[in-house]
Amino acid sequence: MNRLFEIIRRDLRLALRQGSDSVMVVTFFVLTVILFPFGIGPEANILERVSPGVLWVTALLASMLSLDRLFQADYEDGSLELLALTPTALEVLVIGKVAAHWLTTGLPLMVAAPVLAVLLHMNADGFLALLATMLIGTPILSLIGAMGAALVLGARRGGVLLSLLVLPLYIPVLIFGVGAIDAAIQGLETGAQLLLMGGILLAALPLAPLAAAAAVRQARE
């Protein structure tokens, strides 16, 4: 358990000192969302209609930007070998790295999303659902992404390969995330979608670290 916190602390410290990754992710998110009013036009009703989808799709893409560094940096400087030789399960360390990744990318995205929702004229009824789906959804993105990031270790042009691997797996999160916000805007129940997302999170929580750790073991051979 101590080791879990140790690795979260190190990754947070690295992210804060390097700074670029988190800032880049949020900046990408903001800029891309701002592009939509230019592309689609400023009509409030159209923007309002597409706002849940736009926010979620751009959040998916933004969270993917930082994924290829998740294990790659540790892989290149030999840290991953030493992590694998730590007297604890590699799965625990993967959970630590995923938690740090979520804190430095998922959480800032969640904070930025309501501000951008205002920009897209999203109905105020959808805000709570937007925050709830982001809270449940972004950890899933980090977990599934970790699986992909571990699989492409050592591959050339891993970043492109990574998006091909990971994006199809993000589709359920996108469907239920947007569905919940749409339902909330129309004044319907959002419980079902949130529960389904919660179910995906609970399934990914043990399974993704197992798969990612297996892929890391494969990569170091």
Partner 1 sequence: MVIYYPYRAQGRSRDAPAVFPKSCFPLARAVVLLWCRAMTNGMSSHTFTGEKLVCIRGERVVFSGLGFHLAAGEALLLLGPNGSGKSSLLRLMAGLLKPASGRLAWGGDPVADDREAHAARVHYVGHHDAIKPVLSVFENLRFWARLHDPASGAGLARAARDRMGLARLADVPGKLLSAGQKRRLNLARLLAAPATLWLLDEPSVALDRQSVKVLEAVIAEHRAAGGMVALSTHADVDLPGARELHLDHFAVAPEAAMGVWG
Residues at the contact surface with partner 1, assessed by CB under 8 A: 2-3, 6-7, 10, 13-14, 17-18, 76-79, 81-89, 220-221
User: What's the closest the beta carbon of residue 188 comes to partner 1, in angstroms?
Assistant: 48
User: What's the closest the beta carbon of residue 208 comes to partner 1, in angstroms?
Assistant: 21
Which residue reads 């999160």 in tokens? 173
Angle at 169 between CA 119 and CA 101, to 5 degrees: 65
Query: Measured in whole angstroms, how far is the alpha carbon of residue 110 from the centre of its chain?
Result: 10
Contacts of 15 (CB under 8 A, 6+ apart): 21, 22, 100, 104
User: What's the closest the beta carbon of residue 74 comes to partner 1, in angstroms?
Assistant: 8
Q: Compute the distance between CA of residue 91 and CA of residue 215 in angstroms, rounded to an integer.
A: 11
Q: Compute the distance between CA of residue 181 and CA of residue 131 in angstroms, rounded to an integer.
A: 9
User: What's the closest the beta carbon of residue 3 comes to partner 1, in angstroms?
Assistant: 6
Q: Measured from the CB atom, is 34 or 89 closer to partner 1?
A: 89
User: What's the closest the beta carbon of residue 102 comes to partner 1, in angstroms?
Assistant: 20
Q: Measured from the CB atom, is 49 or 220 closer to partner 1?
A: 220
Q: Measured from the CB atom, is 117 or 150 closer to partner 1?
A: 150
Q: Measured from the CB atom, is 41 or 87 closer to partner 1?
A: 87
Angle at 120 between CA 119 and CA 126, to 5 degrees: 105
